Structures are given as C-alpha cells and as structure tokens.
Amino acid sequence: MRKVFLVMAFLSILGGCGGGGGDDQSPVADNPFFGEWDTPFGTPPFDRIKQTDYEPAILEGMKRHNAEIAAIAANPDEPSFANTIEAMDQAGEMLSRVSDVFGAMNGTMTNDEMQAIAKRIAPLRSKHRDAILLNSQLFARVDHVHGELAKLNLNTEQEKLVTETWKRFVRGGANLSAADKEKLKALNEELSVLSLQFGENVLKETNDFVMFVDKESDLSGLPAASIEAAAEAAAQRDHAGQWAFTLHKPSLIPFLQYSTKRNLREKMYTAYTMVGNNDNGADNKKIAARMASLRAERAHLLGFKSHAAYILDDNMAKTPEAVYELLNKLWVPSLAKAREEAAEFQAMIDAEHGGFKLAGWDWWYYAEKVKKAKYDLDEGMLRPYFELENVRAGLFDTVQKLYGITFTERTDIPVYQEDVKVYEVKNEAGDLVAIWYSDYFPRASKRGGAWMSSFRKEYKEDGRRVVPIIYNVGNFTKPTAAKPALLSVDEVGTMFHEFGHALHGMLSDCTYRTLSGTAVSRDFVEMPSQIMENWAFEPEVLDVYAKHYETGKRIPAELIDKLERSKHFNQGFASTEYLAASLLDMDWHTLETTKEQNVPVFEKESLARMELIPEIAPRYRTTYFRHIFAGGYSAGYYSYVWAEVLDADAFAAFQETGNIFDPETAARFKKYILAAGGSDDSMALYLKFRGKEPSIEPLLVRKGLK
C-alpha cells in the first residue's frame, strides 16, 4: 500500500476533489472511467462506454497520474524502494485503464472521430511521458535507490524493477542538459503523431481498394468459399450480382493462390505491394523518411550511433552487428532455397507453354500447383477440417493438457462487437486465472494482422493476485451464409501463435505491473507465442480438433501424412520474404545520418544489397510496414526469427522426453517463461527452463534448411 503522505499529497494537489469523481451534477458523472466497474470481474463496461468518454477520461487520468508522480518526487523521506520505485509502479491506474480500452477500440472499432481523438491525445501523452522521465527531482530519487541496490536486500523481481525503472529514465533522457531535454520532447511529440498517421494511412489504403468482378468467367479457379464470400462482400457494398475482392488477407491470399486469371492476380498483388505508395493523401513515403530521420536524431541525442543501436542496447541481441549476423546465417540458405523453388515453378510454367517469366503475382498460384503435384495436397483439401470453433476447442484442449487450465464462455460480460466472445479461465483447483476475449473476423474498422493485448495486466495488490483481462484479435476467414469460418493452415498457425501471447499474459504471476506478462525484451516476447505453433499441426493435436465441418469425421491419417511431408515446401519463400523485411528494417534503423531518404531509392538499394530475387517482395515494404513505423518493432522485426531459435530449441525440450505434453517440461516452461514475465533477465529465465544455451540447429532442421 502507498504511504499516507502519498494519498494526502495526491488529494491536496487535486484540490480535495477526491479524484474528479464528482456528484450527480458533474459532467463526468456518467463517464464509466471515473468510477469503479461493477461488471463481472471488473471487465470493461462496453455497454456503457461512449466514444465521447475517452478524451475527458484520458485527460483526467494524466492529471491524476501527474499528482501521484509529484507526490513521489516531493516526498521528504529518504528515497527507498517502497516510497519511490514501488510507488511509481502503482501510480497511474486510471490512465492505464482508459488508455488500454481506448487503444483496443482504436485498433478494432476505429472511425474518423476515434482517429481524431487519437491525434489530439498522442502529443499530450508524449508530453506526459517525457514530463515524468525528464523530471530531475524524481530521477534523483530513482538514481539514489539504484545506487544503493547492493545494500537493499531485495528479491530478484524487486532488483529487476529498480534496474528497469532506472534504465527507463536514462534511456528517456534523464541525464540530458536542459536544452537537449527540450529537443527530445519535440522529437518524441512529432514521432508520436507521425506514427499514428502512418497506421491510419495503411488502414485507409487497405480499405479503399476493392476489385469488383462482374463476369463469372473471371472467377475461374477460385474455391467456392472465396466466391461466396466475394459475393457477400459485393452485396454489402451495393454491388449485388458482382463479386468484390479486397486486400484483407482472407480475400487476397486465396485469390493469389487459385485465380487462373493472371492479369487479375497482378492487379491484386500490385495493389497490395503499393499500399501507402500511391502519391495520394494516404501516401507514407514522406512519413517513413521523416520518422527514420527523427529516430536517428534522437539516438544521437541519447549517445547512440543509430536508432538500432539505441533499441538493441535494451534487447537480448544487444548490437546491430549481432542481429545482422543471425539474419545472414539464415539468409544464405533461405535465398538458395527460394531460387530452387523459383526454378521449379518456372519449369511448370514452361511445361504449360506459359511463355512468361515467373513474377510475384504468380508465386502463390504456382506454389499451390506444385504442392498439389508433388504431395497431392492443397489448401482446399484442408480447410473443411479447420472450422474455427473446432480449432479453438483444440487450442483449449492443448493448453489444458499442458498447463491444466480450462475455458468457459461467459455471455453475461459486455462485449464491444457481436463477434467477440469472452471466456473465464480457471486452473485445476477451480481458481480464476484470467478473463480472455477473442475477436477473430475482419471489418473495415479493424486494422490488419493479428495481435494480443490486455484490458488489465496481472499484478499483486496487498499480496493478492489481480486477475488479468487479456484479448486476442485476428482477421481470419469469416463465416458465410452457407459455411462456417473455415481456416487456412496459416490462419490456424496464427491462432495458436497469438494464443501463446495470451498465455504469457494470462498465466503471469508477478508482483509488479511494470514487469508482468509480456513486459520482456522485444526479442524474447515472441518466443512464448511461436512455441505454440509447434503444437498446432502435431498429429495427436490434429486428431482432436481437425474434424470435417459437415460430417464431423476426423482428418484422415493420409492427409496428416501429406501435411507432414509438405512442411518444408515453400520454406525458401517464407523465410526469404520475412528475412528481407527484417533486413530492410535494420537498414532503415542503422542509418547514422539524419538526412531524410528517398524511400523508393533507399528500398531499392537495400533489396539489391540482399540480392533478393525479383519474384519475391519483402513481407512488408516500407510504406505499409506497420510493425516498424506504427508499432513497437522498429529495429526489432528480427525478433520473430530470434525467438524462432528459442522456440525451436524449447520445443525440442518437449520432444526429447518423447511426449510433447510432458508434465515436468510444461511445468518448467510455465514457471520460468509464462509466469515469470520480465521478473528476471530473459536469458537467465530461458536457462532456468532449458538448462543450456539455445542452439540454432533445431530451427535449421525445422525449416528444412539443413
């Protein structure tokens, strides 16, 4: 609990108003963020939250947080772990609560007004963060506790909290001169606004493109499910009797895989790879160039050669050189494999007397044809066995076997959209572990991709575990009037992947919010998610959930065998497009110059240095690379492959026992990885689980690159 001085100072700064709750006459009396939530488990009251509630609540949250921080900084007592470090971890509850909900809604239910609120709030939030991190009086207290760390007799998690708090101040500019602090504030503020605009532009460009087809002959090769979904999409856009194809992955990828109309594949592929690069109001070239320049300038101000050096100093990789070394180890065999695949596809084109050279818009199409020829397998054979609700049930069964947790749907908890489902998560003793939301289908108000976050993180209050409220978001194939949601192999893997992040949040057992759940280094956070993908297609897991949506029959053993034999197929492409994006990210963020770059020229030169073959584009090109320009992965997209090394090695620990559900291995993984959050150094936690340094060999074997 906070000491009395903090509470009294807080109330004094607020003028005795008790935190702005107000009486029945107050204009904020009906704003749910200003009071306690009487919903089940304290879940967000989405049935009462209005769009107009967010801005006043965020402003009040910052006001209250400022008051708490001022009280900590002004405390006359000698700085201690409790009255400084711990007090800071506990501060800002209201701001966190409203920000978490607003961030979720702006990502899943956005509109013009939500985006306008975000733009008004972003510079204010940037100023708010800087005001804390550049508060010299507060930093003096943090620095004092950090300097006394060896004498304080703290446990590992407490020591980590002290270290991380001190690092956050130093990396946030606490040691800068007054003039440089002002420069840093200006840089951070501009970057916060540009990042928002970049993401909005990607969403707008993605939503704005629609390819209408009015001739049935132009649907040649497409699966019935894709045609049906396109008809529904056209009807929703007042084009009944036609078919609409969009850049959302459930529409785009099947079109590229199956359409026999090469000119239409080219149109779809080109539109996707040109998002944010159309010289219109949603163009991202100038924004990306400006952000790279500002990030380099900020890194120099903070004493680093480049933005990548600044970011990686706080990650497991530590240096740009270490990242490039890892990426290049994989790049050489991956590119060689991709060249082999391209030659194989070209051979099929030539055999068909195609008379053209393989291009990017041909890759998915010929990959499917070659896979069918070599393994008698294609997506269309598998989708009927991957009905979304069955996959989710298989996912629940998998984690119950591993960690003893169960999921029960709750229909009495308010949701923000009709497709959202909520579950109560309990352990074997029947104790509540977490609340979990899923939001799986695309809509115009939702940004692309898939992710996990929280409405409330796990932490301890007076020794009692506060239950986390976690959510997963996806953009999976939607059900149609005739069929349920039938997922692709990639969508199944993504569901398992994002659920791994959710487990990291749900099973967290930390004392401090700052360190709980996914609050680990960026290149460690993907390990708990990626390891879950290993279970998705194991035969004994498939046997549980892969049932034909019409007959209920389990997936045939021969189909599982075909899937297993084809697992290395197209891995050159998959690895190369990912690695190319990772290298592009690193090239942008190892820039030491602050001169704004010409984006097309810079990207072209970057890809040329890699010797990327023209038939493959990076998974993300600069102008729609949300991860690095509108997300938290700048100089960090490599994290997925860094984590792949860890997850392949970690899954090998299960395989070595002869039981992929081995109880002892699962218990160690839960204790040292999922429950531990950021309470200790990431590699220290991994060593406690595995007992040895991770090896890259299992990853090379899994990808068929060795």
Query: For residues 535 and 530, what is the distance between their CA atoms, to the nearest angstrom?
Result: 10
User: At which of 610, 637, 664 does a domain end?
Assistant: 637
**pLDDT 10s digits, 360-414:** 999 999 999 999 999 999 988 999 999 999 999 999 999 999 999 999 999 999 9
Exposed / middle / buried, residue 552 (Cβ in 10 Å: 0-12, 13-18, 19+) = exposed
Structural domains in the chain (count): 4
With contact defined as beta carbons under 8 Å apart, do 627 and 674 qualify? no
One domain for residues 108 and 80 = yes
Which residue type is seen at 214? D
Q: Among residues 112, 216, 226, 104, which one has the least CA distance to residue 471?
A: 104
* Domain identity same for 595 and 518: no
Q: Could you identify the residue written with the tokens 């290993």?
A: 534
Identify whether 200 is part of a domain: no
CA end-to-end distance (rounded Å), the chain: 55
What CA–CA distance (Å, rounded) separates 70 from 137? Answer: 9
119 found inside a domain: yes
If asked whether residues 480 and 517 sit together in one domain, one would say yes
Q: Give the Cα separation of 78 and 86 in Å (integer).
A: 14
User: Among candidates 224, 222, 229, 226, which has minimal Cα distance to 480?
Assistant: 229
Question: Which run of H or of E encompasses 536?
Answer: helix 527-536
DSSP 319: S
Same domain, 617 and 541: no
Q: How many CB atoms lie within 10 A of CB 23?
A: 6
Token reading at 631: 């997300």
State whether 627 and 602 are in the same domain. yes
Query: 537 and 415, same structural domain?
Result: yes
DSSP 659: -
Q: Is residue 445 part of a domain?
A: yes
Q: Answer with the one of 175, 197, 228 that is the final residue of a domain.
A: 175
Could you give the 3-state DSSP secondary structure of residue 330?
Answer: helix
316 and 442 inside one domain: no
Whether residue 594 is found in the same domain as residue 542: no
> 432 and 521 share a domain?
yes
Question: Kind of pairing, strands 432-439 and 469-473?
Answer: parallel
CA distance 388 to 396: 12
User: Cα torsion for 78, 81, 84, 90, to the nearest 10°?
Assistant: -150
Predicted pLDDT of residue 27: 52
pLDDT one-digit tens code per residue, 275-321: 999 999 999 999 999 999 999 999 999 999 999 999 999 999 999 99
* Segments of 535-633 assigned E as strands: none
Q: What is the pTM of this model?
A: 0.92
- CB under 8 A, 24+ apart: contacts of 186-190: 187/294, 187/297, 187/298, 187/301, 188/126, 188/129, 188/130, 188/298, 189/123, 189/126, 189/127, 189/130, 190/290, 190/294
Catalytic positions, please?
498
Answer whether residue 280 is part of any domain.
Answer: no
Q: Are residues 608 and 668 in the same domain?
A: no
| Owning domain of residue 76 | 4-175
Question: Each residue of 461-509: pLDDT tens digit?
Answer: 999 999 999 999 999 999 999 999 999 999 999 999 999 999 999 999 9
Please check whether residue 98 is in contact with residue 58, taking contact to mean a CB–CB distance below 8 angstroms. Answer: yes
Say if 182 falls within a structural domain: no
- 149 domain residue, yes or no: yes
Residue 194 lies in a domain: no
- Which regions of the chain are under pLDDT 50? 1-25
Residue 46 located in a structural domain: yes
> Looking at 587, 608, 637, which one is the last position of a domain?
637
Return the structure tokens found at 445. Answer: 């108000």
Q: Are 236 and 305 contained in the same domain?
A: no
Integer Cα distance of 10 and 510 in angstroms? 27
CA dihedral 164, 170, 171, 176 (to 10 degrees): 170
Q: What is the predicted pLDDT for the residue at 379?
A: 87
What's the CATH number where 370 sits? 1.10.1370.10
Give residue 12's pLDDT. Answer: 33
Three-state DSSP state, 323: helix
DSSP 110-148: --HHHHHHHHHHHHHHHHHHHHHHT-HHHHHHHHHHHHT
The answer on 633 and 646 residing in a single domain is: no
CATH assignment at residue 695? 1.10.1370.40
Structure tokens at 33: 């963020």
Per-residue CA distances from 318 to 169, 225, 312 (Å):
19, 47, 5
